[in-house]
Structure 1
Amino acid sequence: MNEQDRPVRPRVSARVGVVGLGTMGLGMARSLRDAGHDVGVHDLRPEVAEDFARDGGTAFGTAGELAAAVDVLVGVVVDAAQVESVLFGADGAAGRLRPGAVFVMCSTVDPGWSAGLEGRLADRDVLYLDAPVSGGAARAAAGELTMMTSGSAAAYALADPVLDAMSSTVYRLGDRAGLGSTVKAVNQLLAGVHIAAAAEAMALGIRSGVPAEALYEVITHSAGNSWMFENRMAHVLAGDFTPLSAVDIFVKDLGIVLDSARPQRFPLPLAATAHQMFLQASASGLGAEDDSAVIKIFPGIDLPEKPAEV
């Protein structure tokens, strides 16, 4: 596995499209535009696409219309079902991409499904890059994502300038689809388990009478700290569960992790426990809250409250 640090490249003009302008996709589209690309966009909310286009770029009414106008199409939607809709739904992109164009798939999906998608698109003479991302909305907006990619040399040759504009680091993990999604699944296993463990530890300390601020201060300067503890428990201290990454994202992603391991008969006891914790939070009505809200499943803890806005 080689880490490819992205070189500084001159501003370029390439026909590129982005489908899905959520918190990640919008930042990625803006990074592409800032790098000099001619960017087309499509979102199920037309007003979001039109707002993007006011500062440069073109809004398209359907994924198919966008696909017909670009050489590289980047999909930044939630899951495999939405990718299916983008590619093969009504006026889907797969039937409108020109032969030799490339579809860059940035969603978190089952690795086996991603591997199969490569063959389905090859039947239409469309190239494919399995390219899930990590870094969150802030790094997407800054063009500093980490991308976990795999695919053919031909797909990379066309997509490289697009990857450069969206990321600080691109990992090339192999010449076939599925490897990128496998590494993303491992990353999500760790992220989900770390959040769940951080919530459990924080809840225990609060329930035992330790002031939340003091507990956070000590742990973030001790060996038990993790990036997820430091980041997510800061949300808890602020009493702010505005979703940056929602509880239901980890219901989905840890479900993918477990599903991908099942055919291998590979045990994942920690991932399974964390998945159950997020499921419990979702079933309690917390699915749309920030994933740190998983701490609310623990009884008898008094959490800090977000200060009232004045």
Structure 2
Amino acid sequence: MSTNLSKSKVAVIGLGSMGLGMATSLLRAGFDVAGCDVSAEAVEHFGCAGGRAVRSPAEAARDAEVVVSVVVNAAQTEAVLFGENGAAETMAPGSVFVSAATMDPEIARRLGKGLEATGRLYLDAPISGGAVKAAAGQLTILASGSSAAFAKARPALDAMAGTLYELGDSAGIGAAFKMINQLLAGVHIAAASEAITFAARQGLDLRKVYEVITASAGNSWMFENRVPHVLDGDYTPRSAVEIFVKDLGIVQDMARGARYPVPLAAAALQMFLAAAGSGFGRQDDSAVARIYAQLAGVELPSGK
């Protein structure tokens, strides 16, 4: 570990399951990491893990070379940057803001231009991989921004990512790539939920269905990853239903603006909306299967 790296300061704003994993990966790589979150419990937990627990984005960003924002959406990202006690108040000239939230590419472009006008750098860097890969420093990061932004952020990105895609020289490109991923991910979760519940309606052994499909052409990463949650009746959120209400909603807005049809994404969105409206919004996104089960009048496995 180099002396310079061990003294480099990074801020992580948002210490949920993803942000905490990213922050601990940075700590493990030797960075001096300040972290903040709206949850006092999350901040305390981070402090116990060896990080510097602070109370606001402004405090976290002070003296940091890299500020990593791991919040839910564009509105929260804008508040982290430009709201009261926002990071832009204290970020040093030439430091870089790494935005990990999934958002409309147009908003990513606007935020990037706004921050760069102040002499700071902006990297549009949505993430994929889930909490387990975040904690292991093995995320996939879909990034776009200036060469200066990449150069400043690279040591921190290398600590957090197993795969880093450099997708363009301006903000918004990374966000657009992420929305293509989210379109597919949402459709595949809905399809997996539909299929496993249809199997239940046919009276099939669901674990045998899982075994057969994961060895067959109908398999998908989402079927293989999410159906075990259904089989165990465990809807503890790894990624919540509400995430896809948001993300497929963004896909719909983008498609409407482009006058482009996305009927499969639209149908999947309706199932996520039904799940959220039925009280499952904070459950794992595989809880879409529970809506199919209600419609079909079938029993899915129940948890322990």
Pair in the same fold by TM > 0.5: yes
| 1:191-225 per-position Cα deviation (integer Å, ceiling 9, x unaligned) | 00000001111111111111211211211111111
In 1, Cα distance between the equivalents of 2:189 and 2:92? 42
| 1:68-103 per-position Cα deviation (integer Å, ceiling 9, x unaligned) | 231110000001111111111111111221111110
In 2, Cα distance between the equivalents of 1:208 and 1:190? 27
Alpha-carbon offset, residue 66 of structure 1 = 1.2
| 1:38-95 per-position Cα deviation (integer Å, ceiling 9, x unaligned) | 1011111223223212332211111111112311100000011111111111111112
In 1, Cα distance between the equivalents of 2:256 and 2:84? 33
Q: Which residue of 1 aligns with 2:105?
A: 111
Query: Where does the alignment leave 5 or more consecutive residues of structure 2 unmatched?
Result: none
Q: Which residue of 1 aligns with 2:252?
A: 258
Query: Secondary structure at 2:228's aligned position in 1?
Result: helix
Q: Which residue of 1 aligns with 2:142?
A: 148
* Equivalent position to 2:302, from 280, 301, 305: 305
In 2, Cα distance between the equivalents of 1:152 and 1:236? 43
Alignment pair present for 1:288 and 2:285: no
| 1:160-204 per-position Cα deviation (integer Å, ceiling 9, x unaligned) | 000000001100001011010001000000100000001111111
Q: Which residue of 1 aligns with 2:237?
A: 243
In 2, Cα distance between the equivalents of 1:56 and 1:107? 25
Equivalent runs, 1:1-310 vs 2, <5 Å: 12-13=5-6, 14-298=8-292, 299=295, 300-307=297-304
**Length, aligned pairs only:** 299
In 1, Cα distance between the equivalents of 2:87 and 2:266? 36
In 1, Cα distance between the equivalents of 2:88 and 2:63? 13
| 1:103-145 per-position Cα deviation (integer Å, ceiling 9, x unaligned) | 0000101111001111100121110000000000000000000
- Equivalent residues of 2:78, 2:111 under 8 A apart: no
| 1:217-263 per-position Cα deviation (integer Å, ceiling 9, x unaligned) | 21111111111111111100001000100111100011111112222
Query: Secondary structure at 2:43's aligned position in 1?
Result: helix
The one-letter code of the counterpart of 2:21 is: G
- Equivalent residues of 2:24, 2:49 under 8 A apart: no
More helix by share: 2
Superposed CA RMSD: 1.2
Query: Where does the alignment leave 5 or more consecutive residues of structure 1 unmatched?
Result: 1-8
In 2, Cα distance between the equivalents of 1:146 and 1:78? 17
- Equivalent residues of 2:12, 2:67 under 8 A apart: yes
Query: Secondary structure at 1:61's aligned position in 2?
Result: coil
Query: Secondary structure at 1:223's aligned position in 2?
Result: coil
Query: Secondary structure at 1:252's aligned position in 2?
Result: helix
Query: Secondary structure at 2:302's aligned position in 1?
Result: coil
The one-letter code of the counterpart of 2:303 is: K
In 2, Cα distance between the equivalents of 1:197 and 1:55? 39
TM-score, normalization by structure 2: 0.96
The one-letter code of the counterpart of 1:141 is: A
In 2, Cα distance between the equivalents of 1:99 and 1:113? 22
Alpha-carbon offset, residue 10 of structure 1 = 5.4
In 1, Cα distance between the equivalents of 2:224 and 2:61? 41
The one-letter code of the counterpart of 2:65 is: D
TM-score, normalization by structure 1: 0.94
